């Protein structure tokens, strides 16, 4: 399954390079939902909430009311997870909190079936807090321990995120071998070949920069989605 991404910052749709530098702004959020209407699911990340500088709850609510959305950004407490589900999110994405005792509370509050855990890798190690802090472990080391708390994993290869230089297919192969849970790949996915390779592994593809720059054509991606619908590994 191909999942287009809407990243929110300061009330606007943006695309960042490696989570730091703003590369471009998209159309208004409502227009982006219209553009993505052919896709079964959209990924919405509240970057302000992820970085601890406010949130875009009104926009999240509006988007979740118009499309099936997985929503992330600052989901560090059970209350925040409950609130996002209450706003209409189909599932919530938990990043930083997945590596704290809060994960158990969040999982109990909304149910593991409503949770995707973000495994964001930079320089081979998992990074947290809006990708600003590195941990000592790799995604492959922790994935099985986290399985009971979630329905799947969103795995971002941060080294290539937003750079349109391709992704690390070997990393995704290792992750696929490490878990039977649903996996979504993100970070640097640039070509239809990337998407075909990942789809063949039974991995979903979350796309941002390649869509926003026109590198990949939305109509073609929507057609690809029809031929390769969601496969829950």
Task: Tell me the pLDDT of the chain (233 aa) as tens digits.
Answer: 999 999 999 999 998 876 677 889 989 999 999 999 999 999 999 999 988 899 999 999 999 999 999 999 989 999 999 999 999 999 999 998 999 999 999 999 999 999 999 998 888 888 876 667 788 888 999 999 999 999 999 999 887 666 667 788 999 999 999 999 999 999 889 999 999 999 999 999 999 989 999 999 999 999 988 765 544 43
Other C-beta atoms within 10 Å of 85: how many? 18
State how far the alpha carbon of 198 is from the alpha carbons of 5, 32, 133, 228, 233, in Å. Answer: 17, 25, 28, 11, 12
Q: What is the DSSP string of 52-115?
A: TS---HHHHHHHHHHS-EEEESS--SHHHHHHHHHHT-SEEEE-GGGGSTHHHHHHHHH-GGGE
CA atoms within 13 A on the CB side of 35: 18
Token readout for 203 is 């991995």
Query: Which one is catalytic: 58, 120, 136, 194?
Result: 120
**What pTM did the predictor assign?**
0.91
State how far the alpha carbon of 148 is from the alpha carbons of 23, 55, 114, 164, 197, in Å. Answer: 37, 29, 12, 34, 28
Does the annotation count 7 as an active-site position?
Answer: yes
Predicted confidence at residue 36, as pLDDT, reads 96
Q: Which CATH superfamily is domain 2-227 in?
A: Aldolase class I (3.20.20.70)
Predicted confidence at residue 169, as pLDDT, reads 92
Please choose, from the candidates 163, 208, 161, 214, the residue with its C-alpha nearest in 3D space to the C-alpha of residue 187.
161
Does the annotation count 120 as an active-site position?
Answer: yes
Is the distance from CB of 47 to CB of 69 less than 8 angstroms? no
Predicted confidence at residue 9, as pLDDT, reads 95
Predicted confidence at residue 231, as pLDDT, reads 43
């Amino acid at each position: 399954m191909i999942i287009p991404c809407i990243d929110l910052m300061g009330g606007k749709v943006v695309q960042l390079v490696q989570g730091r530098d703003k590369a471009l702004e998209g159309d208004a959020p409502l227009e982006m939902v219209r553009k993505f209407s052919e896709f079964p699911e959209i990924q919405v990340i509240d970057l302000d909430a992820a970085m601890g500088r406010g949130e875009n709850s009104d926009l999240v609510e509006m988007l979740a009311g118009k499309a099936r959305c997985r929503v992330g950004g600052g989901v560090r407490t059970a209350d925040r997870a409950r609130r996002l589900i209450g706003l209409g999110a189909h599932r919530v994405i938990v990043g930083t909190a997945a590596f704290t005792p809060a994960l158990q509370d969040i999982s109990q509050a909304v149910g593991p079936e409503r949770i995707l855990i973000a495994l964001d890798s930079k320089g081979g190690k998992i990074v947290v807090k809006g990708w600003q802090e590195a941990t000592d472990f790799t995604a492959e080391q922790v994935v099985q321990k986290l399985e009971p708390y979630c329905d799947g994993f969103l795995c971002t290869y941060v080294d290539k995120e937003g750079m349109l230089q391709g992704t690390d297919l070997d990393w995704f192969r290792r992750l696929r071998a490490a878990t039977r849970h649903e996996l979504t790949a993100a970070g640097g996915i640039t070509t239809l070949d990337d998407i075909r390779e990942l789809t063949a592994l039974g991995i979903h593809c979350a796309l941002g920069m390649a869509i926003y720059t026109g590198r990949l054509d939305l109509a073609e991606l929507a057609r690809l989605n029809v031929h390769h619908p969601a496969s829950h590994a």
